[in-house]
């Protein structure tokens, strides 16, 4: 069904983005893998070309740079510009500090990546989808878009923005045939918490202590499910949590 579809995944170098690359490769898609860590996406692309015989294109991209995003999309070679599926996944949290004590640089990184980066990529890619009357934008949101937890101030705010932007995009694209989906996961064990705690792996590991978190592949399977519905079916939002999590405040640690 998705064979030869062109899929752009931002933040494809680890976690959910990398898992999406694996599952879309299995479906025979042509993959554009974007991230800052070029060594990682090159290795993933090489592995997927060998395993699945697919076409890949790797782009070293910092989504915070509007110029870089616009140039990357404008300069896509040949048929690569006809992106069928955009997975807006690049994102991060930085810190868990109280608003009156936290680092402003952390806020800027989160807002520039999670909100402005997602907007830059969408603004560059969606016009082509509208012209072709087909396409699918899948934004990786979070349950943090729905619930705010102590110290989550700006991260939760950035994901609430992703939720609102996704809703707005869905309205703006009404009548174009382009589909829009937000996937809002709870706890997923990836590099997310290591990044949040600035490389403190012990503190990151505590996040998932004595509970069973979701895996990146769990989320990628849902991304693929959304992408493989019939063309007239849209899933505007999917919330997914571990069985061991009931809300951002309620985690069962057995
Ligand atoms: P990871 O840290 O494993 O992956 C994050 C990815 O984002 C990396 O590939 C990283 O690539 C990329 N990225 C970060 N900053 C930039 C940037 N400026 N430009 C381009 N790429 C960037 O975490 P996850 O896989 O967990 O996170 C993926 C998404 O899922 C994020 O949007 C996150 O907010 C969301 N999410 C995560 C949850 C979780 O519990 N893990 C739950 C809910 C949502 P590189 O560093 O190479 O640029
Ligand atoms: C990541 C999930 O609960 O750490 O978006 O905010 S949470």
pLDDT tens digit sequence for 235-251? 999 999 999 999 999 99
140 CA → ligand 1 middle, Å: 9
Q: What is the pLDDT of residue 165?
A: 99
pTM above 0.75, yes or no: yes
Is 140 a pocket residue for ligand 1 (Cβ < 6 Å)? yes
114 CA → ligand 1 middle, Å: 9
142 CA → ligand 2 middle, Å: 6
Nearest residue (by CA) to ligand 2, atom 6, is 144
Q: Which residue ranges form the domains of the chain, and what is each CATH number?
A: 6-240 (3.40.50.720)
Distance (Å, rounded) from C-alpha 32 to C-alpha 186? 26
Q: What is the pLDDT of residue 1?
A: 86
90 CA → ligand 1 middle, Å: 5
Nearest residue (by CA) to ligand 1, atom 41, is 188
Percent of the chain with pLDDT over 70: 100
pLDDT digits (tens, 9 = 90+) for 112-127: 999 999 999 999 999 9
The atom number, within ligand 2, closest to the CA of 187 reads 2
Mean pLDDT of 22-30: 98
Is 195 a pocket residue for ligand 1 (Cβ < 6 Å)? yes
Nearest residue (by CA) to ligand 1, atom 25, is 15
> How confident is the prediction for the chain on average, in pLDDT?
98
Is 14 a pocket residue for ligand 1 (Cβ < 6 Å)? yes
Residue 89 banded pLDDT, cuts 50, 70, 90: very high
Is residue 120 flagged as an active site residue?
A: no
Q: What is the pLDDT of residue 103?
A: 97
Is 38 a pocket residue for ligand 1 (Cβ < 6 Å)? no
Mean pLDDT of 12-26: 99
Query: Does residue 164 surpass a pLDDT of 90?
Result: yes
* Strands ordered across the beta sheet of 85-88: 56-60, 30-35, 6-10, 85-88, 136-140, 179-185, 237-240
90 CA → ligand 2 middle, Å: 14
Q: What is the pLDDT of residue 48?
A: 98
Q: What is the pLDDT of residue 55?
A: 98
Selected catalytic residue, list 149, 155, 208, 249: 155
Q: Which ligand is nearest to the CA of 187?
A: 1
pLDDT digits (tens, 9 = 90+) for 192-251: 999 999 999 999 999 999 999 999 999 999 999 999 999 999 999 999 999 999 999 999
């Amino acid at each position: 069904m998705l064979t030869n579809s062109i899929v752009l995944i931002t933040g494809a170098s680890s976690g959910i983005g990398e898992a999406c690359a694996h599952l879309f490769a299995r479906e025979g898609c042509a993959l554009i893998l974007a991230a800052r860590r070029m060594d990682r996406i090159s290795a993933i692309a090489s592995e997927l070309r060998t395993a699945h015989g697919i076409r890949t294109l790797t782009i070293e991209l910092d989504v915070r740079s509007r110029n870089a995003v616009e140039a990357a999309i404008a300069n896509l070679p040949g048929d690569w510009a006809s992106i069928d599926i955009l997975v807006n996944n690049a994102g991060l949290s930085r810190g868990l500090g109280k608003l009156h004590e936290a680092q402003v640089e952390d806020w800027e990184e989160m807002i520039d990546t999670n909100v402005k980066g997602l907007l830059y990529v969408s603004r560059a890619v969606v016009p082509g989808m509208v012209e072709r009357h087909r396409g699918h934008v899948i934004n990786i949101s979070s349950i943090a878009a729905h619930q705010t937890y102590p110290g989550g101030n700006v991260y939760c705010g950035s994901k609430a923005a992703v939720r609102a932007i996704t809703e707005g995009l869905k309205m703006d694209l009404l009548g174009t045939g382009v589909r829009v989906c937000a996937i809002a996961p709870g706890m997923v064990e990836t590099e997310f918490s290591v990044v949040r705690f600035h490389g403190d792996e012990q503190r990151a590991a505590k996040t998932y202590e004595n509970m069973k978190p979701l895996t990146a592949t769990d989320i990628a399977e849902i991304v693929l499910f959304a992408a493989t519905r019939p063309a007239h079916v849209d899933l505007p939002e999917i919330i997914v949590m571990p069985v061991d999590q009931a809300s951002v405040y309620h985690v069962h640690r057995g």
